[in-house]
Amino acid sequence: MTESSADAVTPAPDEETGVAASPVEPRGLSRRGLLGLAIGGGVAGLAVGAGAGLAGGVALGRERATGDARVVYDFFGEHQAGITTPVQEHLHFASFDMMPRTDRDDLISLLQDWSYAASRITQGLDVSATGAVGGDAQQPPDDTGEALGLLAAGLTITIGFGPTLFENEDGDRYGIASLRPAGLERLPAFLGDDLDPAHSQGDLCIQACADDPQVAVHAIRNLSRIAFGRAKLRWSQLGFGKTSRTTSGQATPRNLFGFKDGTANILADDAKALADHVWVPASTEPAWMAGGSYLVARKIAMLIETWDRVRLAEQDTIIGREKGSGAPLSGGDEFTAPKFGTKAIDAHSHVRLAHPEQNDGIRILRRGFNYVDGNNALGRLDAGLFFLSYQRDPAQFITLQRALSTDLMNEYIKHVGSGIWAIPGGVKPGSYVGAELFA
């Protein structure tokens, strides 16, 4: 399956167990540190084996997801899953830093281990063949077990590399500084930024999306355990309620301001738009990024209580669309092209400043989620948008963000977290994420 396909892949059931076959267990499975799960024998066994049994793995079957819990997306493909895949309802995003004194072999083995585990859990299996209950009862299990009985629920795992992975204050730790893409740099400061360093950046990132929140949390929890001794969790974010769509079959969702969000997003079946705006072409250096993309994450706090006291007409003016229908204020329905030559749409409305017509045709693919992190010290909702966008060049996002400097909506939002990561192309069966970087 290729990433651009909107169709899910469901493995054929095993003749004896009646459960979808699992990827083949890598040779040399061993424990690293107290809880880590390491693969010492390379990645020859990463390919999905049609005849492989579950071994000690546990069949999953309980449905509780918001969508069709039976949906399965392949971890392997031309592009990484979780970009043009139909946006799921739940997110667990995590940023990691490599541990001090780790070397190139540590980084490679971590990516191999993550890829192996991801190839299993995206199919609804435990992280290893012995899993949560099939191993030595006198040892900690390989899998934490909270997803036992749950289906795959459309889980996707997307892995990226931050600028500091290539070089940081300690220098070129892994011998890859010369292969850092020119555009992979910490994002510049933008007007209105109030960034929390503890919720920004990171050497590595993992985006886990699913239609069951427990499935997404299980993915990050177990990939974090696998990283033990090699990488540590820097920060993470839970998200719910997608704020964009990536297929024509999905209705446009709403953000916490109550407006439809992502009406003009790039869709999975628009091959030309994806090639022009999302996928890094094969002709671009460095060659290892071919078929990949760049991910920008921004945690945007919304001043919910202030916004809720704004008149409806003013809310419409700020956004440039009708709150109910999503239609531009210049007329038509949700998908009618806005007419910016009229006075109906304010010159500083969000829809005008962000529109491709006003930005030399620049487009990005959005996959954001709502978030609510409880209340802040003032008793107000700590809530907002966890913005995620994919683009073939970070300059696309930078240009759009600068264009929004006079956005009327800026009075009601605050950017509090930020990060950028290179997302390598898809993983081939028998390989691992980013293998071309270390070739």
Query: Could you tell me which residue, 192 or 24, shows the higher pLDDT?
Result: 192
Kindly write down the DSSP assignment for every residue of 418-439, as one continuous string: EEEEEE--PBPTT--TTGGGG-
User: pTM score, two decimals?
Assistant: 0.87
Both 124 and 263 in one domain: the answer is yes
Both 140 and 275 in one domain: the answer is yes
Decide if 3 is inside a domain. Answer: no
Decide if 396 is inside a domain. Answer: yes
Both 276 and 329 in one domain: the answer is no
Look up the domain containing 38 and give its range.
Answer: 29-44+61-168+189-287+425-438
Decide if 54 is inside a domain. Answer: no
Model confidence over 180-228: pLDDT tens digits? 999 999 999 999 899 999 999 999 999 999 999 999 999 999 999 999 9
Both 92 and 155 in one domain: the answer is yes
Both 342 and 405 in one domain: the answer is yes
Decide if 295 is inside a domain. Answer: no
Q: Identify the band that residue 3 occupies on the pLDDT scale cut at 50, 70 and 90.
A: very low
The yes-or-no verdict on residue 32 having pLDDT over 70 is no
Both 338 and 313 in one domain: the answer is yes
d(CA 130, CA 409): 51
Decide if 96 is inside a domain. Answer: yes
Decide if 181 is inside a domain. Answer: no
Decide if 296 is inside a domain. Answer: no
d(CA 232, CA 225): 9
Model confidence over 333-343: pLDDT tens digits? 999 999 998 89
Task: Give the pLDDT score at 92.
Answer: 98
Both 221 and 81 in one domain: the answer is yes
d(CA 345, CA 331): 10
Decide if 340 is inside a domain. Answer: yes
Task: Give the pLDDT score at 21.
Answer: 37
Q: Are 84 and 365 in contact (CB under 8 A)?
A: yes
Both 158 and 266 in one domain: the answer is yes
Both 394 and 431 in one domain: the answer is no
**Chain centroid to CA 100: how far?**
26
Model confidence over 228-271: pLDDT tens digits? 999 999 999 999 999 999 999 999 999 999 999 999 999 999 99
Peptide bond into 286 cis (omega under 30): yes
Burial class (CB in 10 A: 0-12, 13-18, 19+), 375: exposed
Task: Give the pLDDT score at 69.
Answer: 81
Q: Above pLDDT 90, what percent of the chain?
A: 82
Amino acid at 267: L
d(CA 240, CA 399): 28
Say how many domains are in the chain: 2
Both 318 and 363 in one domain: the answer is yes
Model confidence over 79-104: pLDDT tens digits? 999 999 999 999 999 999 999 999 99
**Lowest mean pLDDT across 27-41, 78-92, 355-369, 395-409:** 27-41
Both 106 and 122 in one domain: the answer is yes
In the chain, what's the furthest Cα-to-Cα distance? 73
Cα atoms in the Cβ-side hemisphere of radius 13 Å centred on 294: 25
Both 134 and 195 in one domain: the answer is yes
